[in-house]
Chain A
Amino acid sequence: MSRSRLWPVHLVLAIGAAAMVAPFFWEFLTSVQSFGESTRIPPTFVPSWEWSNYGRVFDSLPFGRQFLNTVLMTAGRTLAQLVFCALAGYAFARLRFPGRGALFVVFLSVLMVPSQLFLIPQYQIVSSLGWLNTLAALIVPGMFSAFGTFLLRQFFLGLPNDIEEAARIDGANPLRIFWHVMLPLARPGLLALGILTVLWSWNDLMWPLVVNTSPESMTLSAGLATLQGEHLTEYPVLMAGSLMATLPVIVIFVVAQKHLIQGIAFTGSK
């Protein structure tokens, strides 16, 4: 099909893309408005270009420290999930053992309850371990994921059997097969899970807020939430902070999306 006849496709995609980008444009617009302009109805489309809002984010929050916390928490959760979910996912996909089906259903059931349910029990465990206000509290509960297990199980089921068979005949145990044979093949799937976990960890709000009391140990999302005053929220500063906080994740996605498509391809389809 020649390029010139693709313009209807471009048109539809462009209109949809505009709708998708709209909130970013909104965030940016608000971030350079003055306080008065941000609360005006109807909204102000020509802002007064208050770039100072970005500087004020650093006055209102220990932004650098919270950024570091967010990075460490995200890295910790993601690395752990990659290892643990791959192990479990492989076992569910390729190994035969009693209770496999029932156990998998039990794993899945974790996804079927409201997440607020976990707030108080997890808080009590973390508190009794003395982990409040530490990275351990942010990382540890997030190291285990039923979704990640499900995802990687899909992935392993889609890989060919022959290499495994060969290794088996050579006498290797399942763990060795997993580590040396399957894991390298699983790179796209791991990448997919990695990116998804990064995205979700980065924006996790409720847990970091509840488990941390000092701004220095909070993550960016929790820190930004504290910018909301009781009767007065300076939305321009809040939006400026959010934009800066989201930028790294967007960069990660742009860089990794090619691998991501391949990764999800192995889990969601044939």
Chain B
Amino acid sequence: MTATESRVADAVTRAPGWLARLGGSGGAGRRPRGDWPWAYLMIAPTGLGLAVFYLWPVVQTVYFSFTEWGAFGGHTWVGFANYTTLFQDPAVGQALRNTFVYSGLVLLGVPLSIVLAVLLNTPKLRGVSVYRTLYFLPVVTMPAAVAMLWRWIYNGDYGLLNYGLSLFGVDGPYWVSDGRVVLYAMAVVGVWTLIGYNAVIFLAGLQGIPQHYYEAAAIDGAGRVRQFFSITLPLLSPSIFFVTVLTVIGSLQMFDLIYMMMDRGNPALTDNRTIVYLFYEAAFVDNRRGYAACIAVVLLAVILTLTVVQFRLQKKWVHYE
């Protein structure tokens, strides 16, 4: 392995070490190297399956990004032409901005999930399993129903939200059709969908914090808020890291919400597309498959970079045992 490789390997393998109990991350150092035939054997099924069905398409995509395609097959090599077009295309820059804005907003939901988990962890709370089920429901609900409901809530003339605002004398905008607010409206739905799932992960993390830490702090005179910041958050930080990494990866690929909630006649659509929506348009509407592949490759590079950065930064704030 090169120096870079081993650094990446280190960063990556230490990552989930947050759940290592006292005793370090996996004790892998003492494992004899003669393990490797077994290791490859055990990785083989998933590895081969991923290689055939997922990695090979990714490699193909990188290749296709240097070609241009006919509608139904047959391609010609165009070198970096797609990349040049992409970097000069204002729509791409705009889509990336929109995607980052959306992602940032959705990440704001992570603290919300933490608070929710803390509430669901209140000792002696009756019916906690009922609440847990209810908060997990959005993950299970049919996306079409979710879209219908939220379109009604957000409807500018007859929707619930604007009706509520009107009671306070506020004239609400057309949440889904007005370019200035639609990303925020989508972000709310995004957070709403994830909040229960993330809260469950945090809830589990909270169960792992020994109760006597809190008792000791209380004896020392620390209030509930102080306890939250000095005990709960640090000991929960590994979970926060896990959730943050996955939320970033997922939210940067947002497509379904726009596809379902914004019709092609929506005036706000053009300026508020995300990068994956651009990919979909290029691939399936405009029949520019080479350009679409190019967009996908750029997105992959962005997400990969952000993920690696997050793994590197974890040393600064994630508290492992």
**A-side interface residues toward B, CB under 8 Å?**
1, 3, 6, 9-10, 12-13, 16-17, 19-24, 26-27, 30, 41-43, 83-85, 87-88, 90-118, 121-122, 125, 140-141, 143-146, 148-149, 153-158, 160-161, 165, 173-175, 178, 199, 203, 205, 221, 224-225, 235, 238-239, 242, 245-246, 249-250, 253-254, 257-258, 260-270
The smallest beta-carbon distance between A107 and chain B, in angstroms, is 6
In the assembled complex, the CB of A124 is this many whole angstroms from the nearest CB of chain B, namely 10
Contact A93 B26 (CB under 8 A): yes
B54 and A118 form a contact (CB under 8 A): yes
Complex Cα gap A250–B136 (Å):
9
Q: Are A270's CB and B21's CB within 8 A? A: yes
Residue interface bits B129-166, CB-to-A below 8 A is 1, else 0: 10111111111111111101100100101100000000
Given contacts A91-B42, A158-B19, A175-B41, contact A125 B52 (CB under 8 A): yes
Asked if B280 is at the interface (CB within 8 A of a chain A CB), the reply is yes
Chain B residues with CB below 8 A from A111, complex form? 249
9 contacts between A and B (CB under 8 A): A41-B157, A41-B158, A92-B43, A97-B39, A101-B8, A109-B55, A143-B49, A174-B39, A235-B148
Query: Measured between alpha carbons, how far is A115 from B255 in the docked complex, in Å?
Result: 10
Interface size on B, residues (CB 8 A): 111
How far does the alpha carbon of A143 sit from the alpha carbon of B53 in the complex, in Å? 10
CB nearest to B136 among chain A residues: A253
Whether A84 contacts B46 in the complex (CB less than 8 A), given A117-B57, A154-B242, comes out as: yes
The answer for the CA separation of A87 and B49 in the assembled complex, in Å, is 13
Identify the interface centre among B1, B144, B280: most chain A CB within 10 Å of its CB: B144
| Interface of A, helix, strand, loop or mixed by DSSP | helix
* Besides the known contacts A13-B120, A260-B200, 14 further A-B residue pairs in the complex with CB atoms under 8 A apart: A16-B116, A22-B149, A23-B138, A84-B49, A92-B43, A94-B28, A97-B33, A102-B9, A107-B46, A109-B300, A154-B16, A174-B42, A249-B140, A268-B204
- Cα(A105)–Cα(B21), bound, Å: 24
- Provide the bound-state CA to CA distance between A129 and B321, in Å: 50
Q: Which residue of B lies closest to A161 (CB)?
A: B27
CA distance A93 to B24 in the complex (A): 12
Whole-angstrom distance between the Cβ of A256 and the nearest chain B Cβ: 11
Does B71 interact with chain A (Cβ within 8 Å)?
no
- Whether the Cβ atoms of B279 and A199 lie closer than 8 Å is no
Determine if B39 and A145 form an interchain contact, defined as CB atoms under 8 angstroms apart. no
| A118→B61 CA distance, assembly (Å) | 9
Q: Nearest residue in B to A19 (C-beta to C-beta)? A: B192
